[in-house]
Amino acid sequence: GGGAAAVIVVEVAPDIAALERHLILAAIAPLAIECAPATRLCAIDVGEGADPADVAALRDWLAGAECTTGQVVAVKRVADAGA
């Protein structure tokens, strides 16, 4: 029963130092377990040059995906087709 869970989507920026980045990303799954079922927690690992529209679309999708928690999804730059 109950209503919908609160949602936290963490965006990890590409300019965060490697150690801090890995610590943040490693914490997502255990924190999601601790927060469940009242709160869902996911993260977006934003790569250098990632399209902000892709990040926004993923953020919106994760916020609405009621069965998803504890996931880390990477968004990376897609090379140009001509490259």
The string of pLDDT tens digits covering residues 23-82 is: 999 999 999 999 999 999 999 999 999 999 999 999 999 999 999 999 999 999 887 655
Distance CA 74, CA 10 (A): 12
Give the per-residue pLDDT at 13. 97
Distance CA 70, CA 41 (A): 6
Give the per-residue pLDDT at 82. 59
Domain boundaries, the chain: 6-75
50 in Cβ contact with 13 (< 8 Å): no
**What stretches of 1-83 show up as alpha helix (H) in DSSP?**
18-35, 52-64
pLDDT above 70 for 18: yes
**Burial class of residue 75 in the structure, from the number of CB atoms within 10 Å of its CB (0-12 exposed, 13-18 middle, 19+ buried):** buried
